[in-house]
Structure 1
Amino acid sequence: MDADTGELLNDQPQGVLIGDHCWIGQGATFTKNAIIPANTVVGLQSVVTKSFREEFTVLAGNPAKVIKKGVKWSREREMG
């Protein structure tokens, strides 16, 4: 709110959108308006401060950025 007028300054709700099949590392933080698409991995302690659109990526860092592309994960583990 504006201290002088009492006017609400952030009247538009702003949320976080996380797509399907994402892996989120422990302690990751998302700021308002952060978006990660489906099939994205977010690294441990990363801070996501903006919208990302490309799927099959790994995001990491503070602020988070794409560190790897073309990543596909599966719950199944290959045993050799």
Structure 2
Amino acid sequence: MNWPKSIYVGDHIWFGQNAMIFKGSKIGSGSIIGANSVVSNKRIPSNTTYAGAPLRLIHENTFWTPHSVHGWNDEEIKKMSESDSDLFSYSPDENTLDFDEIESILNSSNQDDTVEYVLMFLFAGKNRFCLK
């Protein structure tokens, strides 16, 4: 049997064009999935870059911003790479949710309880979907 599995995607993820995400995949917040990549039943840690088919780790401790670096000079790139901000850096804390626990609760709940449970995530904090 080809049993269904959930897909979990954290906050602030960048999916490249034509990236395919299949069942059982868990993607932590702040990650980048390269163009034409295939993610199937994989656990992608937060703040990492993965790409390819087969999927492989490209870089760790990464984050993306909406800024376009195409017109930047070396000084601007260096300034951005040395940012003191942790706005897009995710690390586990007391608000971090466990994807396996979420799955178990969702599978054992009725529809009304499921909606209420999911709504709790909206205000769980920045690191709610961090994976390390």
TM beyond 0.5: yes
1:40 counterpart = 2:31:
yes
RMSD: 2.0
**In the alignment, does 2:41 pair up with 1:56?**
no
Indicate if the aligned counterparts of 1:49 and 1:63 stay in contact, CA closer than 8 A.
no
Secondary structure of the 2:57 match is strand
Q: Please tell me whether the aligned partners of residues 39 and 56 of structure 1 are also in contact (alpha carbons under 8 angstroms).
A: yes
User: Which letter maps to 1:48?
Assistant: V
Does the CA-based 8 Å contact 2:35-2:51 persist in structure 1?
yes
Deviation, structure 1 residue 31: 1.6
Secondary structure of residue in 2 paired with 1:59: strand
Count of matched residue pairs: 71
TM-score, structure 2 length as denominator? Answer: 0.47
Gaps of 5+ in 1: 1-8
Taking the aligned partners of 1:13 and 1:49, their CA distance within structure 2 comes to 12
Amino acid at match of 1:25: G
List 4+ stretches of structure 1 deviating above 6 A. none
Question: Residues 46 and 53 (structure 1 numbering): CA distance in 2 closer, same or farther, change over 3 Å?
Answer: closer
User: Which has a greater percent of strand?
Assistant: 1
Unaligned runs of 5+ in 2: 77-132
Q: Aligned in 2, Cα 1:14/1:56: closer, same or farther, shift over 3 Å?
A: same
Note if 1:74 corresponds to 2:65: yes
Q: Which has the higher helix share?
A: 2
Match of 1:17 in 2: 8
Find the aligned partners of 2:46 and 2:56 in 1 and give their Cα distance: 13
| Alpha-carbon distance in structure 2 between the residues aligned to 1:47 and 1:53 | 12
Give TM-score, length-normalised by structure 1: 0.73
